[in-house]
Structure 1
Amino acid sequence: MKKAIKVVLVVAVVIIIAGFAAVSYLEKNLEALSAMEITDVDLTKIKDGTYTGYYQSMPVDAKVKVTVENHAIKEIKLLEHGNGQGKAAEVIPQKVVEAQSLKVDSISGATYSSRVILKAIEVALMSGLN
Structure 2
Amino acid sequence: MKRKKKMIIWTIGLLGSIGLIFGLNYLYRTYRYKQIVADIVIEPVDLAQISDGVYSGEFDALLVGSKTKVTVKDNQIAAVDLIEHKTELGEKAEKIVDDVVKQQSLEVDVVSGATNSSKVILKSIENALNSAVDK
Q: So what's the TM-score if we normalise by structure 2? A: 0.88
1:3-55 deviation line (CA, Å, top 9, x unaligned): 22133123303312331232122222222212211111111111111111111
Partner of 1:69: 73
Structure 2: 5+ residue runs without aligned partners? none
Deviation of the 1:108 alpha carbon = 1.2
Larger Rg: 2
Partner of 2:131: 127
RMSD, aligned α-carbons:
1.5
Deviation of the 1:87 alpha carbon = 0.4
Question: Residue 51 of structure 2: SS of its match in structure 1?
Answer: coil
Question: Residue 110 of structure 2: SS of its match in structure 1?
Answer: coil
Deviation of the 1:89 alpha carbon = 0.3
Structure 1: 5+ residue runs without aligned partners? none
Partner of 1:47: 51
Pair 1:2-2:22 in alignment: no
Partner of 2:108: 104
Kindly tell me the number of residue pairs found equivalent between the two proteins: 130
Q: So what's the TM-score if we normalise by structure 1? A: 0.91
Q: In the aligned structure 2, how far is the partner of 1:6 from the partner of 1:52? A: 51
Question: Residue 102 of structure 2: SS of its match in structure 1?
Answer: helix
Amino acid at match of 1:43: L
